[in-house]
Structure 1
Amino acid sequence: MTTTTTIVMAKAPQPGYAKTRLIPALGADGAAALAACLLEHALEQTLAAALGPVDLCCAPDATHPALARHAGWPGLALSEQGDGDLGARMARAFARWLPHGPVLMTGTDAPALDAAVLRNAAAALRTVDAVFVPALDGGYALIGLRQPAPALFAGVAWSTAQVMAQTRERLAAAGLRHVELAPLPDIDEPADLVHLPPGWR
């Protein structure tokens, strides 16, 4: 059975660096604490999906204690996102793993993106070129590819409501067949906190 690599793109959950748009509601320490909780949840669900290798792709690097502590988790490797905008960093991470088979990529912002969603995405990727879980804010919470597609990452207005729409245009222009699973909320702005699971605040 073909394994699927999952890349989890994550920022070190440190005050003033992670989840900064939530600082007005939670404070810098509270936003960082939530980022740490989201990171743990994302890694637990990704490992529970048991699809294949898991790459925790770190920013600014893999030395932050909250990231480095995961180095010993079975089935989990750490890498670094490196320089460039989000698109450049995503494209680089895909290029590292795609020679070995299909790849899913997520962030840590969508707590509803659980092991079952990951398994469904991997299954969908067997029959199409790309799979997405759109986010309710116009971006996406997951992207999966079976082949390099650098056009999907260049010139995109990241962190805006146009991301998924621009990506659909690029998919069509490249002749790539894709599927979209049910959209999920991500946690970026104070208004998004209503989507946190019970007990998380």
Structure 2
Amino acid sequence: MVTLGTAPLPAQPAEPLKIGVFDPETIWKITEVGKKYNQDLNEARDRLQGDIDKKQAEIDALRDKLRQQQASLSEDKAAQMQKDIQNKTIELNRLQDDATREMKSQLSDVQNRFQQMLVNTLEVFGKEKNFTLILNKGVIDYNSPQIDITQDLIQKFNDMHKAPTAPAASKPQPKKVPEKPKETPKPPGR
């Protein structure tokens, strides 16, 4: 009968766990990229709201005109004004729906881009600083302030990711017309 024995392995010194916690909302609000994205979203919202307000003003003006002139208008003219108001109201509803869709799309796009940048920053920062675990503050009930790395992450994020300088996607860029290469004059007879 053969028995195999196992010798106990020597104890290896355990590396201490290094844990960090960050607040993604603070990173969004304070980083240059986050500020730029917020500015772009606010500009798009203001532009879209301006279009909606303009359309609402048109409807209000038509309603006022109808109220003021109703007694003196023919039945056909009053009906036509009512129809115009209805059509403008439908346009307003479409405009509001389009604006909501556009804002949701822009917000989703910006959040996805920012999230990817944040993940990249967390990976680089975590490896550089030898973190075992970095957690989002939103999933933690309590943490000691000593393990909050939000400010350090903001600095690293700003170092790694520069705010875009191009206008937001909501503002169409004029297309550049490619310059024609200068032709060299051809010798005569060819």
TM-score by length of structure 2 reads 0.30
Larger Cα Rg: Structure 1 or Structure 2?
2
Higher helix share: 2
Higher strand share: 1
Which structure is richer in relative contact order (CA contacts within 8 A, separation 6 or more)?
Answer: 2
TM-score by length of structure 1 reads 0.28
